[in-house]
Amino acid sequence: MNGRPADERSGTRRDASADSLLAALTAAEGVEQDLIGALHRTLSVDEENSLRRADAIRAAAMGLDTAACASAAGVPESLLLSWRAGDPSFDAALSAATAMARAHHLEQNVTSNPAALRVVLAALRDGMTIVEAGALVGMTRDAFYHLRRADSRLHGLIAAARALGRRKERLPKRRMPASRRRSDAFKGYRLVRLEPPPRSEPGES
């Protein structure tokens, strides 16, 4: 019989479950690139951007706002806005998805919306602070800490995501072989940092 208290034992199981869920979310983010790799080819820039636009539209359909949609797509918010300005069909699709979410009363709430929770966990996992991750879904720091205290399951997920973020920051930087840089570029783009897009690449708009 295990001599540890029941609550400690359940906490250990909960942490393991949180780690497993985060691993599944991380693996799911790269599935399109893995499928393309299975076809023995790489994504073009247009194809990568199309996948990101689709991710943004899905996030909008789940009730997320512009900043959260950009985060879900793994792009800076400024780039998402430039896509809307330069691509009427994408702008119309995003607007329609947002209208659908409102019609079905979907709210950008981490406690009830899995898409919002995914954005927060991904941001924490990629090294953002609690303040930065919360801001992506409109949460203040106080609201974030209250959420952690009120729900032990969410607390476990948030703690696991933050631990992954800290672990990544401590890893030594290694030079990637040239043959892998192109295939890993799409996955690396999901490290969400709210920075303006390079001015030298107007073709992405």
Question: Does the pLDDT at position 8 exceed 50?
Answer: no
Task: Convert the pLDDT of each residue in 85-124 to its tens digit.
Answer: 999 999 999 999 999 999 999 989 888 898 999 999 999 9
R_g over Cα of the chain: 18
How do residues 30-89 score in pLDDT, each as one tens digit?
Answer: 677 677 777 767 778 888 899 899 999 999 999 999 999 999 999 999 999 999 999 999
What pLDDT is recorded for position 98?
A: 96
pLDDT for the residue numbered 188: 43
Instruction: Give whole-number Cα distances, 85 to 94, 108, 146, in Å.
Output: 12, 24, 38
Q: If residue 39 lies in a helix (H) or strand (E), which one and from where to where?
A: none
Measured distance CA(99)–CA(97) in Å, rounded: 5
Q: How many residues does the chain have?
A: 205
Give the span between the Cα atoms of 204 and 54, in whole angstroms: 15
Residue 23: partners with Cβ closer than 8 Å, 6 or more residues away: none
Query: Which of 129, 139, 111, 120 is closest to 166 using CA atoms?
Result: 129
Q: Please give the pLDDT value at position 68.
A: 95
pLDDT given for residue 190 in this prediction = 44
pLDDT tens per residue across span 146-194:
887 887 888 888 888 888 888 766 555 444 333 333 334 334 444 344 4
pLDDT for res 157: 86
The yes-or-no verdict on residue 21 having pLDDT over 70 is yes
User: Angle 156-158-164 (CA atoms, 0-180°, nearest 5)?
Assistant: 105
